[in-house]
Structure 1
Amino acid sequence: MPQADLSSEIGTALPYLRRYARALTGSQTSGDKYAAATLEAVLADREMIANASSAKVGLFGMFHGIWVTTGAPVTEEDEGPLKAAQGHLSRLTTNSREALLLHTIEEFPVSQVAEVMNISAEEAETLIETARQEMADGMSGRVLIIEDEAIIAMDLESIVADLGHRVTGVARTRDGARQLGSKETPDLILADIQLADNSSGVDAVNDLLKDLGERPVIFITAFPERLLTGDKPEPAFLISKPYSEEQVRSAISQAMFFSSTETLRA
């Protein structure tokens, strides 16, 4: 592949690598450090990417190699939800969470998950199923949904309930979200970006976090590339519309488990 084409493909895949890194670490800062280390490795040696089935698979494969050698260590700066989450992660089957994220959030087929992780397809499938079960068994809680489209809101309610969580309410506007949040404190917020009255789901979430304190958040948007620029704070969990049920299930389990609280606040 010509160098110009390879560079272009890497540039296209990079925002999604950064999303994956944030989901793994629960932190934009930590995730971006891993992504930067991956780019440095690419500049030093492009052979792995050039030999992969695609530039994106090769890029994620290089990231995975760096990730597994560091083991996502807990540092002295880690505290609160992040430190607790790292403790939870240490009890998960090795590499299962990575396999699940690659398959569900990043939408790699099992064959490419296996390629990224340098394992067999059978091992990748087993890791994905193991992660689903371990994280589903981990916890349940209350979920506030902020979504203005009735059909989508109903679908999200069903997915949340099937996971064993309870929906505290569905808000269609920024003001409605704040009112529902004041009635019953959610453990997780699932929010669309653009709401019915042209208000912002980001603003609605930040209102709630100001009132209620930090808690995990998942954003849903039809335009994820607008939030994956690297120019401002980004959400740790971001789902693209149209979404699949498996993506939502995985993100909810990940966010609840990791208790990630990063949003789009400046």
Structure 2
Amino acid sequence: MEERTRHLMAHLPYLRRYARALAGTSAAGDALVTRALEWYLDQDDEGTASDPTAMRVALYRRLDALQDEEGTPTPGSSHPVEAALGTLPETDRRLYLLVNLEDLAVADAAVVLDLPGAEAVERLSRARETVRTRLAAVILIVEDDAIIAFDHAETVRAMGHIVCGTAATMDEALALAAEHTPTLALMDIRLAEGDNGIEVARELRRQRFLPVIFVTAFPDELAKRGVEYLGPVIPKPFTRDQIEQAITRAVFTPPPEEVREMAPPGL
């Protein structure tokens, strides 16, 4: 039982994230997660206790079933990615979320949704293309290494997004942000002229909410300052897959009202 509980606790943040995307609001998502956990703990079968993936699949299946039992449509959203996903058939939307947001293998996502494997691959390909054609995020790159900045830009453009500019200093970053109103920033910590990406992120946060992904050779610096809430960290050296996955996740950052409630006072 201890192993089962430990795995459940490890899955909880991911279940909440998927349920929020599934139901449309944090409150509705948390209610689904609570019911799914109660259901799972009532099961006599301990077979998935030692298999984290099987446990996730079972819990995602239960979340889907509970959402379907509610019989209520997912609320509309002004968030550009959620709006784009909302144009998909519901099964395709869930498939996209399970693979792109939750990092499930397509085969496991197919099990969650009771789809044949080949059909899941085909539907996911169509869903990704639909989202790409309906959505182009505007991304600011804050990086003083020209080669890394170029690689970021190539990755962003390959995903179908727009690079609004590349900045090597705080002044350049703030000027580009003011001019283009980006929807996301890829941010190094150590910048040119002694500037610091953490301070850039804090100033952008003060002016308006902007999701930030830190890509840095100093991944512990946010934790040392107690500002992990500013954004996720990808340590250098990195892969393009890491950048792509982080960008996909970043667009599901809570809206400004929720983020302000989560941030420490005065920051």
Q: Do both share a fold (TM > 0.5)?
A: yes
Which AA in structure 2 matches 1:66?
Answer: L
- Cross-structure match for 1:19: 17
Aligned to 1:35: 33
Code of the residue aligned with 1:219 in structure 2: it is: I
Q: Which of 135, 155, 162 matches 1:159?
A: 155
Contact 1:104–1:246 at 8 Å: present in 2 too?
no
Cα displacement string for residues 15-70 of structure 1 (whole angstroms, at most 9, x for unaligned residues): 22233344556755554443333223323336497387632332333223333444
**2:188 corresponds to 1:190:** no
Q: 1:172 to 1:118 in 2, by over 3 A?
A: farther
* Inter-CA distance 163–55: structure 2 relative to 1 (3 Å threshold): closer
Q: Which amino acid aligns with 2:204?
A: L
Say if 1:261 and 1:121 are closer, same or farther in 2 by CA, change over 3 A. same
Q: Does 1:114 align with 2:119?
A: no
Q: Would the alpha carbon gap of residues 132 and 200 (structure 1) be closer, same or farther in structure 2, given more than 3 Å must change?
A: same
- Gap change, CA 1:145 and 1:94, over 3 Å in 2: same
Give 1:243 shift: 6.3
RMSD of aligned Cα (Å): 4.3
Q: TM-score scaled to structure 1, two decimals?
A: 0.68
**Matched pairs, number:** 249
CA drift of 1:112 comes to: 1.2
**Structure 1 runs (4+) greater than 6 angstroms displaced:** 232-235, 253-256
SS of match in other structure, 1:91: coil
The aligned residue for residue 55 of structure 1 is 55
Give the alignment's TM-score, normalised by structure 2.
Answer: 0.68
In structure 1, distance between residues paired with 2:150 and 2:120: 32
The structure with more radius of gyration: 2
Take 1:176 and 1:46, find their aligned partners in 2: how far apart are those partners? 59
Deviates more, 1:167-176 or 1:94-103: 167-176
Letter in 1 for 2:105: P
> 2:151 and 2:116 mapped to 1: Cα distance?
34
Contact 2:84-2:135 at 8 Å conserved across structures: no
After superposition, where does 1:92-111 map in structure 2 within 5 Å? 92-111=88-107
Report 1 or 2 for greater relative contact order, CA contacts < 8 Å, sequence distance ≥ 6: 1
- Give % identity: 26
Match of 2:213 in 1: 219
1:6 counterpart letter in structure 2: R
CA distance in 1, matches of 2:122, 2:104: 15
Inter-CA distance 74–21: structure 2 relative to 1 (3 Å threshold) = closer
Q: Which amino acid aligns with 1:8?
A: R
1:132/1:250 contact within 8 Å kept: no
Uncovered stretches (5+) of structure 1, i.e. residues with no partner: none
Structure 2, unaligned runs of 5 or more: none
The 1:36/1:66 distance shift into structure 2, 3 A limit, reads same
- Is the Cα–Cα contact under 8 Å of residues 28 and 233 in structure 1 kept in the other structure? no
